[in-house]
Amino acid sequence: MLTDGALRMLVLLHFHILGFTPIQLAYLFVVYEIAGIATNLYAGWIAARFGLTTTLYAGLLFQVLALLALAQLDPTWSLTASVVFVMTLQGLSGMAKDLTKMSAKSAVKILAPSESEGLFRWVAILTGSKNAVKGAGFLLGALLLAIFGFAPSLLAMAAILFLILVGILFTMPAGLPVGRKGVNLSEIFSKNQKVNLLSVARLFLFGARDVWFVVGIPIYFYAVFSDGSDEGNRTAFFVIGAFMALWTISYGIIQGWAPHFLKARARTEAQMLIQAKRWVSFLVYVPALLAIFVWFSSEPSKALTATIILGLIVFGMIFAVNSSLHSFLILSFTNADRVTMDVGFYYMANAAGRLVGTILSGLTYQLGGLPLCLCTTAIMISLSFLATSKLIKRTTIA
């Protein structure tokens, strides 16, 4: 997760400096998200067939290979060749990240205590720490680019990640599934309507976040903080990396705290579903109000930038509770026999949401700037609310 976050910052900022438009920057991450969709869809079956450790090792190895290959990018290549090369390797990186994440989340269902609060607590700890580390990666990527440049940063991350892979090979705990031969490929599609509806809600929730997160806010901050000089670029890199890190780390901390905050020990699955609907309804107001505020502001200012930062931090705190509830519910809805496939299907929907959000991030920023990004975020959260409401009705009927 550290290298995944750092790589996103390195690619985004490096190619923005080269003159890529917002929509072109979004295209760089399209294959990354498409690979995530395909990986999550089939990784569950692969893990069920060959074992969780197989998908974990493969994820780490693919990330090392992606970093090493990306370091070979030649600045003399044409724009088309550069874009195709980076998109392809971003796809490999997306595959690596989702193989690792699916393996870790599925392992929690198997190894965590069986009671509801125990499961929620361990899911929250894993998810929260994952995002906190990824947040640190955003800052790391911006700092590495400012200090060492593009290729040296990639090579250093590849070396460190390879050492981690070697360490895991010798320290992997026993008890994880080793796979079963009778798993059919058709089983990857869930027949559980609760899993399907939760996946739809997840799609719109994470699509809403990435509409402003992937391209919109980084490019907006770059325009505000950089004057085009090397010193201005370094300042902008630090501000962008620091904000993305602060936002993601805070998001991870709130996720880890969510079971205690929501009093999960005393709540049933049905009550947790009601909490999910309530918290997504809270979330929609933040981007809607920010969009109005930015729209009626004549030009960027310190007060406007401070308000945007504060508003998005609040968005992140509420978003973290929503995400944590979803992560608990998907493991609550599935069973040990189907956990890798249901979790894979669910995170396939998560990746599909990120893909939609990534494309819309570049498109809406180019067409209408940050206000249109934020307005689109509010609309997608409203769709997540509708899917959650239908999930509650379906659960009540069942």
pLDDT for res 289: 95
CA 87 to chain CA centroid, Å, is 17
Concatenated DSSP letters of 179-230? --TT--GGGGS---HHHHHHHHHHHHHHHHHHHIIIIIHHHHHHHHH--SSH
In the chain, the largest separation of any two C-alpha atoms, in whole Å, equals 63
Q: Is 380 exposed, middle or buried (0-12, 13-18, 19+ CB in 10 A)?
A: buried
Task: Walk along the chain (398 residues) and give the pLDDT tens digit of each residue.
Answer: 666 767 777 777 777 777 777 777 777 777 777 877 877 777 666 666 666 677 778 888 888 898 899 888 887 888 778 878 888 887 888 788 777 776 666 665 555 555 545 556 666 666 666 666 666 777 777 787 778 788 888 888 888 888 888 887 777 666 555 555 555 555 666 677 888 899 999 999 999 999 998 888 988 988 888 877 878 888 888 888 888 888 888 888 888 787 777 776 667 778 888 999 999 999 999 999 999 999 988 677 778 888 999 999 999 999 999 988 888 888 778 776 677 677 778 888 888 898 899 889 989 999 999 999 999 999 999 999 999 999 988 776 55
Q: Is 300 left (phi over 0), alpha (psi -120 to 50) or beta?
A: beta
Query: Percentages helix, strand, coil for the chain, rounded to the nearest 5?
Result: 85, 0, 15
Domain boundaries, the chain: 2-172+188-397
Question: Under a CB-based contact definition with an 8 Å cutoff, are residues 204 and 214 in contact?
Answer: no
CA–CA gap between residue 191 and residue 131 (Å, rounded): 30
Phi–psi pair at 183, nearest 5 degrees: -85, 125
Q: At what angle do helices 52-70 and 79-111 cross, to 10 degrees?
A: 160
pLDDT for res 383: 97
* Reported CATH class of domain 2-172+188-397: mainly alpha
CA–CA gap between residue 42 and residue 39 (Å, rounded): 5
Residue type, 298: S
pLDDT for res 308: 93
CA–CA gap between residue 381 and residue 362 (Å, rounded): 18
Contacts of 286 (CB under 8 A, 6+ apart): 311, 312, 314, 315, 318
**Residue owning tokens 């929503």:** 322
- What pTM was estimated for this model as a whole? 0.73
94-115 in b/e form (b: 16+ CB < 10 A) is: bbbbbbbbbbbbbbbbeebeee
Q: Of 239, 247, 249, 246, which Cα lies nearest the Cα of 219? A: 239
CA–CA gap between residue 222 and residue 115 (Å, rounded): 47
